[in-house]
Chain A
Amino acid sequence: MIPAFIVENSPALMIIVPLVAAFITPFIGRISHGIRSLWVGGAMATTSAVTLLLAFDVYNAGTRLYVFGASAASMALPPDSGGIPIRIIFEVDPMSALMLVITAVSGFAIVLYSLASEKSHSGLESYYTLYLLMITGILGMVSTGDIFNFFVFLEILSLASAGLIAYRIDGGVAVEAALKYFVLSTIGALAILVAIGIYYGEYNALNMAMIATRMQFSLLDQVALVLIIAALAMKCGAVPMHFWTPDAYSMAPSSITALLVVASQASLYGLFRTVFTLYNVTLNAFTVGWLIIILGILSMVVGVTMAIPQKNVKRLMAYHAVSQTGYMLLGVGVGLAVLGNQSLMDAFGYMAMEGGIFHIINHAMYKGLLFLTAGAIFLRIGTYNLNKMGGLGHSMKWTMIFFIIGALAIAGIPPFNGFASKLMIYESVFVFNPIIAIIAMVVSILTLASFVKVFHSIFMGPKLPEYAEVKEAPMPMLVGMGILALVVILFGLFPNIVVESLIAPAAHALVDQGAYIGAVLGGA
């Protein structure tokens, strides 16, 4: 049915299709706008299809290895190299496969949304080119097994996102936001490059499995660990390095903000891959685990308390993105703090990690949905200022329904998916340390409070005279939002199926360093 050639080469196709399509887009754009929309939609659909194919294959058959420049995966260790993998490889294990699923679904829904929301803007060939480049960057970051390759895709992602954040120049304010994001991003990426240099100098290897095999936790390795943790935590918006997040998320076009959420989670994936696969039990799991837990708690609390007084709806949602990242850091940090202690891991460690990882996919879905509704409202009214909005529930009914679904999901109200992952985090963290679980629950209540405020300001109230001719959002935007809302509802109604088939393999693959190394080096 699907040619074996495509299934075998799907990791390479996953990168090649959006990359080549991105560079051909400006030429196609000269023909007409309609053909360009078809081209971009088709390219993204093909990418999503190949990505989902790869993810499905990994979940069924186990970790997939793809060696660039060799004829088969068994050539990862060339016979005359003395057991050293010398080519760049893509190693897709179940945790990477989860991130691939998120990117495929979000990328496709958001490109459908963009076709309508960006129709009236100029410079669209740059928009779609950079969009496809952003997708390439995210897909490459989460599947690669080579740490310098990770850095290259990280930079592709940063450059494309910075260009897209500044897309609507907005009197210069969007460019200011992109500038702040990009300067911080560059300094962080340089820190990661120094860490990569340290690994190369010590172990003469750039392959993640090779570094993991040879890792001794010397002083230089500790420095490299700190550089990578700080840089990647800054890229995903952990407090106290989160200052760029509200600026960048509020000034980007809404579709790009939804994709920036996925990009931040790819950085979070990088953080987990470093800590769990490169180091695993060689690091002082208790200290580093508590470090990540403290980052998580600070993010949760500062994120939600800064969100409540905001007047700009996208800045408010951006602070909530910071807060929800705190939940993911908390869940996985608790898992890290008890790493190595098998009885505690079985008691609550795996559950905490599964909660954190489940929260990653849930957050991408409902946060993307919320940002897309904010964009739909902006398309119709032209402002993000909450003080000027009101009474839109009369005319924008579908947008209101999608907003309600997203707001209830983020606040952790049953039966949506936010509740399932938050329940897992609460129950496992409570066994670890009750006070942290109580802080997490209070943050959840404040999240609900702030979204009730947003809902009342935008949709409730009498029909205002200045918004009398506001119509519903156009159909492509509703379809894009509908895809994400459908995932939110389905994940909420069947959380056990999702956890068993998608999340638990990811959590176990993350913790199991031996399996990761064994896939490359052939039998630990």
Chain B
Amino acid sequence: MFWNLPLFAVVALTVVGLATIVLKKNLIKVFLGITILESAVNLFLISLGYREGGIAPIYTNAPATAMVLPTPQALTLTSIVIGVATSALLLSFAIIIWKRYGSIDIDKIRRLKE
């Protein structure tokens, strides 16, 4: 049961992230929700590679030979970088909308409808 703790954390973070995206009216809080969701997915990817009793997958001066899997760590690094680019673009959108619309309330950013 203890070894499933990361997966419980993933579910909790996902629920918190999705709830923030759907329920919060402030645009910045929605973006924070997206960041939380990304952290949840990154945690999920990393926790897939865990092997009990394994050490970090570095061969130089390795004290033992049982290692955790390195591939999910590579996937997660890529995902973190994509997350950084995503956050940068979203925040620059928020700045421009604040300048032109005067508000970052999602209910007011609705000039395109039907």
Give the B-binding residues of A (Cβ under 8 A): 148, 152, 155, 159, 162-163, 166, 169, 171-173, 175-180, 182-183, 186-187, 189-190, 193-194, 196-197, 200-201, 206, 246-247, 250-251
Contacts A/B (CB < 8 Å), 25 sampled = A148-B78, A152-B82, A155-B86, A171-B100, A172-B96, A173-B111, A173-B112, A176-B97, A176-B111, A179-B93, A179-B94, A180-B112, A182-B86, A182-B90, A183-B30, A183-B90, A193-B79, A194-B41, A196-B75, A197-B44, A197-B48, A200-B75, A201-B48, A247-B112, A250-B112
CB within 8 A of A148: which of B41, B75, B96, B101?
A: B75
Q: Does B68 contact A (CB under 8 A)?
A: no
B18-57 residues at the A interface, CB under 8 angstroms: 21, 27, 30, 34, 37-38, 41, 44-45, 48
Give the residue of B21, B38, B78, B112 whose beta carbon is less than 8 angstroms from that of A251.
Answer: B112
Known contacts A159-B86, A172-B97: does B109 contact A179 (CB below 8 Å)?
Answer: yes
Query: B85 near A166 (CB under 8 angstroms)?
Result: no
Q: Are A179 and B41 in contact (CB under 8 A)?
A: no
* Chain A residue contacts of B37, Cβ below 8 A: 187, 190
Q: A172-B111, A197-B48 provided; 11 other pairs, C-beta below 8 A?
A: A152-B82, A166-B93, A166-B96, A169-B96, A172-B101, A176-B111, A179-B97, A183-B34, A187-B37, A196-B75, A246-B112
Kindly list chain A residues whose C-beta atoms are within 8 Å of the C-beta of B6. none
The smallest beta-carbon distance between A197 and chain B, in angstroms, is: 5
With a cutoff of 8 Å between Cβ atoms, the chain A residues found around residue B71 in the complex are: 200, 206
Chain A contacts for B89, CB-based, 8 A? 159, 162-163, 182
A180 contacts across to B, CB distance below 8 A: 112
User: A163-B89, A193-B79 in contact; A200/B72 too (CB < 8 A)?
Assistant: yes
Q: Mark B99-113, 1 if CB is under 8 A from A, else 0.
A: 111000000010110
User: How close is B106's CB to chain A, nearest CB, in angstroms?
Assistant: 10
Closest 9 pairs between A and B when the two form their complex, measured CB to CB: A172-B100, A201-B48, A247-B112, A179-B93, A175-B96, A155-B82, A197-B45, A190-B41, A172-B101
Which of A178, A189, A194, A197 has its CB near the most chain B CB atoms (within 10 A)? Answer: A197
How far does the alpha carbon of A171 sit from the alpha carbon of B85 in the complex, in Å? 24
Report the nearest A residue to B114, measured CB to CB: A306
Contact indicator B90/A179 (Cβ below 8 Å) = yes
- Tell me, rounded to whole Å, the shortest Cβ–Cβ distance linking B100 to chain A: 3
A190 in contact with B112 given A175-B97, A178-B93, A197-B48 (CB within 8 Å): no
Cβ contact within 8 Å between B86 and A176: no
Q: Does the CB pair A182–B93 fall under 8 Å? A: yes
Contacts of B78 in A (CB 8 A): 148, 152
Query: Bound state CA distance, A173 and B93, in angstroms?
Result: 11
Interface secondary structure of B, over-half rule: helix
Which residues of A have CB within 8 Å of B111?
A: 172-173, 176
B37 CB → nearest A CB, Å: 6
Tell me, in angstroms, the Cα distance from A9 to B80 when the chains sit together.
30
Q: Given A193-B79, A194-B41 in contact, is the A186-B96 Cβ separation under 8 Å?
A: no
- Min Cβ gap B48→A in Å is 4
The interface residues of chain A lying within 8 Å CB-to-CB of B38 are 186, 190
Q: In the docked arrangement, what's the CA distance between A201 and B69, Å?
A: 11
Q: How far does the alpha carbon of A190 sit from the alpha carbon of B101 in the complex, in Å?
A: 29
Distance in angstroms between the alpha carbons of A289 and B75 in the assembled complex: 31
Return B69 CB to nearest CB of chain A, in Å. Answer: 8
Asked whether B48 lies within 8 Å of A200 as measured between CB atoms, the reply is yes
CA distance A175 to B112 in the complex (A): 11
Is the pair A187, B44 in contact by a Cβ cutoff of 8 Å?
no
Q: Which residue of B lies closest to A246 (CB)?
A: B112
Closest CB in chain A relative to B11 CB, distance in Å: 11
**In whole angstroms, what is the CA distance A176 to B72 when docked?**
35
A172 to B44: give the CA distance in the assembly, Å: 36
Residue from B30, B41, B97, B101 within 8 A of A197 (CB atoms): B41
Which residue on A lies nearest to B18, using beta carbons?
A187
Bound state CA distance, A148 and B75, in angstroms? 8
Q: Which residue of A lies closest to B87 (CB)?
A: A186
Specify which chain A residues have a CB less than 8 angstroms from the CB of B21 in the assembled complex.
183, 187
Q: Give Cα distance in the complex from A200 to B71, angstroms.
A: 9
> Which residues from chain B contact A251 at a C-beta distance below 8 Å?
112
Taken together as a complex, chains A and B put the C-alpha atoms of A478 and B104 apart, in Å, by 41
B86 with A186: CB separation less than 8 A: yes
Please give me the residue from chain B that is nearest to A306 by CB atom: B114
Q: How far is the CB of A312 from chain B (nearest CB, A)?
A: 10
Q: Which residues of B contact A189 (CB under 8 A)?
A: 82
Q: In angstroms, how far is the closest chain A Cβ from the Cβ of B3? A: 14
Q: How far is the CA of A194 from the CA of B30 in the complex (A)?
A: 20
Nearest Cβ in chain B — how far from A116, in angstroms? 27
Q: Which A residues touch B99, using CB under 8 A?
A: 172
Residue of B nearest to A189 (CB): B82
**For A190, what are the chain B residues with a Cβ–Cβ distance below 8 Å?**
37-38, 41
CA distance A187 to B111 in the complex (A): 22
- Cα distance, A162 to B90, chains bound together (Å): 9
Residue of B nearest to A173 (CB): B111
| CA A475 to CA B21, docked complex, whole Å | 47
Residue among A193, A196, A200 facing the most chain B CB atoms (10 A cut-off): A193
Note all chain A residues with C-beta closer than 8 A to B41: 190, 193-194, 197
User: How far is it, in angstroms, between the C-alpha of A262 and the C-alpha of B72 when the chains are bound?
Assistant: 31
Contact A175 B93, CB 8 Å, known A186-B34, A190-B37, A200-B75: yes
User: Could you tell me the distance between the alpha carbons of A471 and B93 in the complex, rounded to whole angstroms?
Assistant: 36
In the complex, what's the smallest C-beta–C-beta distance from B36 to chain A, in angstroms?
A: 11
Note all chain A residues with C-beta closer than 8 A to B94.
179
Interface flags, B62-95, vs A, CB<8A=1, else 0: 0000000001100100110010011001100110
Task: Please determine whether A187 and B96 come into contact, CB atoms closer than 8 angstroms.
Answer: no
Identity of the chain A residue whose Cβ is nearest the Cβ of B109 in the assembled complex: A176
List B contacts of A183 (CB < 8 A): 21, 30, 34, 90
B74 shortest CB reach to chain A, Å: 9
